[in-house]
Amino acid sequence: MKFPELKYTRPDFEQFKQAFTQSVTKFKTETNIAELQKLFETVYIMRRTFDTAMTLVSIRNSVNTADEFYEKEQEYMDDIEPMYRDLVMQFYKALIESPKRTELENIYGAQLFMLAELSVKTFSPAIIEDLQKENQLSTEYTKLLASAKIEFQGSTYNLSGLVPFKQSEDRNVRKKAHAKSDNWFAENHQRLDEIFDELVKLRHGMALKLGYKNFVELGYARMQRVDYNQQMVSLFRESVRKYLVPLATELKNRQSKRLELSALKYYDEGIDFKTGNAKPHGDPDWIVNHATTMYDELSKETGEFFHFMLDSQLMDLVNKPNKAGGGYCTYLSSYKAPYIFSNFNGTSHDIDVLTHEAGHAFQAYRSRNLSVDEYLSPTLEACEIHSMSMEFMTWPWMNKYFEEQTDKYKYAHLTHALMFIPYGVAVDEFQHFIYENPTVTPAERNKAWRNIEKKYLPLRDYDGNNYLEDGGFWQRQMHIYRSPFYYIDYTLAQICAFQFWKKSRENQANAMKDYITLCDAGGSMSFLKLVELAKIKSPFEESTIQSVIAEAGNWLATVDDLKL
């Protein structure tokens, strides 16, 4: 199997619905455990077929948002997905209401039933049209950003293509590159506001229809958070403000000193050293060749995984016109195959995104034979432990990519990982504000973002840029539009990943053993139980955050960054 050879056929939904409903109806009345297991497997085979078709469309649409065939198929999937979800909820209800539930839990594990119960609370046929519209608006947002064509220095770039210029050693170049990108968002802010207004109203309306006070509660349920709540997240944000914001502020001041700038402006934040950022010393093929060696040497398991990805052509890594922005890993369940998507642009981010998404993909590869599809991947904050930890577990091989600039890379990588967390919690607090106040105007929304930004990123200076000073920066954060409340996950996972960073420096083999154990468990446990399994401490404990931040800060303090 090679990805380009995979054939896509649009599913006949009515035929699928009939067959699926028949199996669920039998499941409801069946009392023989052996027969229930057969029906269970039949349902999951059908689900895998449908899920794989949706995933194929999503991948091929994001690789080329201008492909008319997959654009139409994405529209079809956006429309049909909520009705497919309705069928899955019917199966979940049959599962949790089964008179043989105890026996089934003993076979498939209690986590499946907790997830099923939570999922049922997030859905009703009454919100199908709302979900269809939500999908359509999310797709429109992605397509709008992918459509950007920005003239700069005699060539045309998309948003990802401008990134290298934003990291130029020439301050004038990076300032102009940022201005070009900012102007594009400013010119499109009205449609971006309209899309988000519709999304907020839809989500709030769905929450009310389902009996929730607002979308915050529904959002947490949709994220399948079974062992932590809003209060724990709020206390986590406060710990970040208390322990990390001062360190991040100090690191910004050190950056300003390295760059010999009296004041660090927002367009300076992406450049770490006056002599330029560390960059990979070769093209994408060169990077992949070194990654092959790296994963072969990291462990037998990672080597096997990476060769599978290469042999099956399961990676699309390089930025090109009409390609959606960002990076992701997804999963083709019928083929038991992860898929990696990214936008290489010649910066150190190419290595970050490759190791990050490879962390996701390695976990999916290791979990591919678990008997329950819900266990193929854990909830998202646990997923991000795999990805962020992989970024650090591969540190011993960074010299392959950066050669004499390796120390530069490591210093910047750790610094940015730390400084990301205040931004991440700012995004989370902003989303809580939005969905607790769903009727605010775009101007009030922007003001709230700017105030939250100042709380967690006190040194950010927009140098008089009106669009950004008025609070427009959040509009470029895809997760706010497409995946509400999926952002605190990165920050929780980062605290966990820092613990793997420490473990790997103390004993790489033991750290890798714990990491593989975590990946093998997939989503068979809740977030905090997976954290315990990995032999790391909960990020919700104030002492964990305090010690992790101190460890990273102490390491950075030993580096003479002015000489890098």
Q: Over the stretch 458-503, which tens digit does the pLDDT of each residue have? A: 999 999 999 999 999 999 999 999 999 999 999 999 999 999 999 9
Q: Specify the pLDDT at position 1.
A: 84
Six token digits for residue 175: 């300032």
Q: What percent of the chain shows pLDDT beyond 70?
A: 100
pLDDT digits (tens, 9 = 90+) for 132-188: 999 999 999 999 999 999 999 999 999 999 999 999 999 999 999 999 999 999 999
pLDDT tens for residues 99-115?
999 999 999 999 999 99
How sure is the predictor about 44, in pLDDT bands with cuts at 50, 70 and 90? very high
What is the C-alpha separation between 6 and 345, in angstroms, rounded?
27
* Contact (Cβ atoms closer than 8 angstroms) between residue 106 and residue 371: no
- Length of the chain counted residue by residue: 564
Residue 352 tokens, joined: 């970050």
pLDDT of residue 57: 98
Write phi, then psi, for 106 (nearest 5 degrees): -65, -30
Instruction: Please give the C-alpha separations between residue 504 and each of 409, 507, 508, in angstroms, as whole numbers.
Output: 18, 5, 4
Give the pLDDT score at 232.
Answer: 98
Whose CA is closest to 314, among 293, 348, 288?
288
Rounded to two decimals, the pTM is 0.96
For residues 487 and 438, the answer to whether their CB atoms sit within 8 Å is: no
In this prediction, residue 288 carries a pLDDT of: 98
Q: To 5 degrees, how large is the angle CA 225–CA 476–CA 332?
A: 55
Q: Is the pLDDT of residue 399 over 90?
A: yes
At 20 the pLDDT is 98
Check residue 124 and give its pLDDT.
96
pLDDT tens digits, 308-346: 999 999 999 999 999 999 999 999 999 999 999 999 999
pLDDT for 371 equals: 86
Chain centroid, CA 234 distance in Å: 21
Helices 101-108, 68-96: inter-axial angle, 10-degree rounding: 130
User: How do 315-318 and 337-344 pair as beta strands?
Assistant: parallel
Pairing mode, strands 337-344 and 328-332: antiparallel
The pLDDT of residue 508: 96
CA distance 59 to 64: 9
For CA atoms 166, 171, 172, 173, the dihedral sign is: negative
Q: What angle do CA 108, 112, 118 make, to 5 degrees?
A: 160
Q: How many CB atoms lie within 10 A of CB 144?
A: 15
Instruction: Give the pLDDT band (50/70/90) at residue 307.
Output: very high
Task: Give pLDDT tens digits for 490-546.
Answer: 999 999 999 999 999 999 999 999 999 999 999 999 999 999 999 999 999 999 999
Q: d(Cα 41, Cα 373) in Å, to the nearest integer?
A: 10
Q: What are phi and psi of 250, to 5 degrees?
A: -60, -40
Coil/strand/helix, residue 295:
helix
Q: What φ, ψ does residue 339 adopt, rounded to 5°? A: -140, 135
Residue type, 516: I
